[in-house]
Structure 1
Amino acid sequence: MRKILISLSLAIALSGCGGDDSGGGTGGGGSENKVTFDQIVIPSGFNLRSSYPVMLDIALNSNELMYLNVYGSYRHTHNGEIVADTSSRIIAGQIKDGQFKGKFTATSGLDSVLVEAWFLDGTRIPFRQVVQLPQESITIRN
């Protein structure tokens, strides 16, 4: 269900980016396949107005350059390890001197996110934390 909600939100957002229909200019014009609003199937109970901004504030004890990923979908392996569904990445960026501040939009269908911070050398286990939603602000300190 999460994948459907994320895909639907993305489809709606992208369908609003069609630009000029006149066929002139550099956009390619009339050869695009357009989807009309009445062709979009919205799952029962879905409410786009239930999306909300989430502020992300991370401060880790590291002076090394790290890379941040936040995922909306993940699973637990039989030995308890958390594995992200990489197609569900919500936000990504560099963590400099252990600090990252960002913002993303969550929907009511998103009940938790996986926050991962990777060392660039790839030899150490990344920092991972599952955060329950809804929240307007996520603060992580270690």
Structure 2
Amino acid sequence: MNIRKNIVYATLFNETGDQLLMVENRGDHGDYYTLPGGTVERDETLHTAITREVLEETGFTIIPSDIVHLAEAFFPQAGEHCLFFFFAGEITSGQLNTNVPEEISGLVWMDREEAFKHLNLPEASKESLFAGRTVPYDFAGEIIHA
């Protein structure tokens, strides 16, 4: 039986919109690059999670926006079934610096082609990250059926 996990990532661009912020994660089998993000914690909304993860990993405060991509994968060795939510985001303040050096070994702005090499997504999905197309995300609060 697989444990379901929600993972959030932020697509954060530099001022000119031609570079994407990537984090270099420390891994058991060597370092690897991903977008900033991580696991949604219990009782945390997706927007709250991505805001927290980006601040921890990059030192930036962001305003998350809508979803630019959604993906799903099984990780049989870990017994996990993961949903990946990729959000557009706008940096509002902060300085590029990780608050979790035990997890993140580096932060780098990458051009499109370089970033694409590190994203485990189909080509069309990689392109959508740069296209500016989004799907609305809304938090509906608590819903109680009487």
TM-score by length of 2: 0.24
TM-score by length of 1: 0.25
Q: Which structure has the greater CA radius of gyration? A: 1
